[in-house]
Amino acid sequence: MPLLASIASLTWPILGLVISKVQFIIIEMSYTHSPASYHQRNVWFLAFLFICLGIGILIFLEKLIFGVSGENLTGSVRKLLFRGIIYKQVCWFDDELKAPGVLTTVLSEDVASLNGMTTETLATVMEAFLGLALGVLLSAYFCW
């Protein structure tokens, strides 16, 4: 999971580099009409197309894998919580905070919020930090 998120985050700065190359080639083509610039334009447009397709596939696989692992986590936490509730004494349920309605709410809502908090948040934070790091490295490389 983290490997796929890190690869997907590294594609965004590379996409920015390719877009800037395409823009410079288009600007160059407006001043000169050489066959070399047409060939260069075609190469960079194909690179842009393949990077966009790769990003789409990577993001789809990342969301799929994070979703499946999140559902597995939610299912196992619910099983453990339900097993803990089942083995309690009958008098344990007499407390208002441990009524069956409150416990089913905990099983359904609180565990589902754990799923969203761990999977989607983890993927987004990982993508943001790694994309920012590679973006800074690429900008430092091309500016110095």
Nearest to 58 by CA among 9, 115, 17, 129: 9
pLDDT tens column, 28-74: 877 877 777 788 888 888 988 998 898 889 889 888 888 888 888 88
For the chain, domain boundaries: 2-143
Return the half-sphere exposure (C-beta side, CA atoms, 13 A cut-off) of residue 14.
15
Please give the average per-residue pLDDT across 7-23, as a whole number: 83
| Placement of tokens 């985050």 in the chain | 9
DSSP conformational letter for 93: G
d(C-alpha 119, C-alpha 134), whole Å: 23
Helices (H) and strands (E) in the chain, counts: 4, 0
Predicted confidence at residue 53, as pLDDT, reads 92
pLDDT tens column, 81-139: 888 888 888 787 777 777 778 888 877 777 777 777 777 777 788 888 888 888 788 88
Six-digit token pair at 106?
Answer: 């905990």
Claim: this prediction has a pTM higher than 0.85? no
